[in-house]
Amino acid sequence: MIDDRTNAYENSIDEKWIALACHRRFGIGADGMIFLQQGDDGADFFMKYYNSDGRPSTFCGNGGRCLVAFAGSLGIHHGHCRFQATDGWHTGELLTDGQVRITMKDVNTIDVIDKNSFTLNTGSPHYVTFLHNLHQLDVFKEGKAIRNSFLFKEEGINVNFVEEVAPGEISIRTYERGVEDETFACGTGVVAAALAASFHSANNIDSWQVHAQGGDLRVDFQKDGFQQYSSIWLTGPAEEVFKGELPV
C-alpha cells in the first residue's frame, strides 16, 4: 500500500514496475499493489488497485480492509470512513477488538451454472463451486482450467472452491485471476462464497464464518429477495507486516 494522495507515484511507474515490486523473488512480494489517493465528492480517500501482474483490476475486499487500517494510521480518519473504489462507495470501520470491516457492493444476481456452481459479482467476478475434501484439491490445476475455459477466458474470473462445514460456516480456497495462482484469502471471493452458500443451502442464515488459508473472516448481509443481498459487511483482521522504501 502506497500513500499517493499527491499522485506522485502512480504517474511515475508502469505495469512492469508494479509486477516487479510484487514479485516474490525479485521484489517485495505481494498479491497486489494499492494506491491510497485523494478522494472526491466527500470521500476520505480513493482506492486504486493493481493485481500482481501489474494490471489495474477491480475491487479487492481484503485490500480494502487493509487500506482502511492504513488510512487510520495516517490520521485520515479516526475509526470510521467512507471511501471510493472502482466499484463505487464503501464504508470502513476500525473495531475495538482490532478487527476491520467494510461494506461491499449489493448483489442482485446469482447465475446458476449447475446445481453446485454459480457466478456472481461482488466487486470482482467470481465462480463459486461446492465440493467435498477441499484440502485434497489441486487448486492451481482446477482453478486455472476453469479460469481459462471458453466461458471465462476473455475477461477472466476468480475461482472459489467451497466446502460447507456446518450451518453458517464454510471453508474456501481461491484461484485468483491476475495472480494466476492460489491466493490465501480473497475478500470479494469470501463474500461471493458466503452469498452463494446462502443461496445454495436455501437457509435464512445471514452471518457466515469463512475459513480461508490465510485466516478467518465473517460475512454479514441482509437478504432482500430471491437473489438480492444488501448491507453486506466483510470483517476480519488487518495487521501491518512492515514498512519501508522502494526506489521508483
- The answer to whether residues 128 and 198 touch, using CB atoms and an 8 Å cutoff, is no
Cell triple for residue 81? 470512513
**Tens-place pLDDT, residues 104-163:** 999 999 999 999 999 999 988 999 999 999 999 999 999 999 999 998 988 889 999 999
Nearest CA-CA partner of 213 in 120, 144, 135 = 135
6 and 46 in a single domain? The answer is yes
Element (H, E) at 22: helix 15-22
Residue that is last in its domain, among 95, 129, 160: 95
Q: Is residue 106 part of a domain?
A: no
Q: Is residue 183 part of a domain?
A: yes
- The answer to whether residues 4 and 37 touch, using CB atoms and an 8 Å cutoff, is yes
Q: Which of 22, 66, 81, 186 is catalytic?
A: 186
Residue 238 has pLDDT above 90, yes or no: yes
70 and 126 in a single domain? The answer is no
61 and 168 in a single domain? The answer is no
Residue that is last in its domain, among 95, 119, 151: 95
47 and 152 in a single domain? The answer is no
Residue that is last in its domain, among 95, 126, 158: 95
137 and 186 in a single domain? The answer is yes
Element (H, E) at 144: helix 139-147
Q: State the total domains in the chain.
A: 2
Q: Is residue 168 part of a domain?
A: yes
Q: Is residue 162 part of a domain?
A: yes
Q: Is residue 246 part of a domain?
A: no
**What domain range is 10 assigned to?**
2-95
- The answer to whether residues 155 and 182 touch, using CB atoms and an 8 Å cutoff, is no
33 and 61 in a single domain? The answer is yes
Helices (H), 39-87: 61-73
Q: Is residue 104 part of a domain?
A: no
60 and 170 in a single domain? The answer is no
Q: Is residue 161 part of a domain?
A: yes
115 and 233 in a single domain? The answer is yes
60 is catalytic: yes
77 and 119 in a single domain? The answer is no
CB count in 10 Å sphere of residue 135? 7
CATH code, 200 = 3.10.310.10
**Tens-place pLDDT, residues 170-218:** 999 999 998 899 999 999 999 999 999 999 987 889 999 999 999 999 9
Specify the pLDDT at position 13.
87
**Tens-place pLDDT, residues 26-54:** 999 998 999 999 999 999 999 999 999 99
3-class SS of residue 19? helix
Q: Which of 22, 60, 66, 81 is catalytic?
A: 60
150 and 117 in a single domain? The answer is yes
Q: Is residue 185 part of a domain?
A: yes
128 and 178 in a single domain? The answer is yes
User: Which residues on neighbouring strands pair with residue 223, listed in sequence order?
Assistant: 229
143 and 221 in a single domain? The answer is yes
Nearest CA-CA partner of 98 in 75, 61, 70, 69 = 69
Element (H, E) at 17: helix 15-22
Specify the pLDDT at position 246.
84
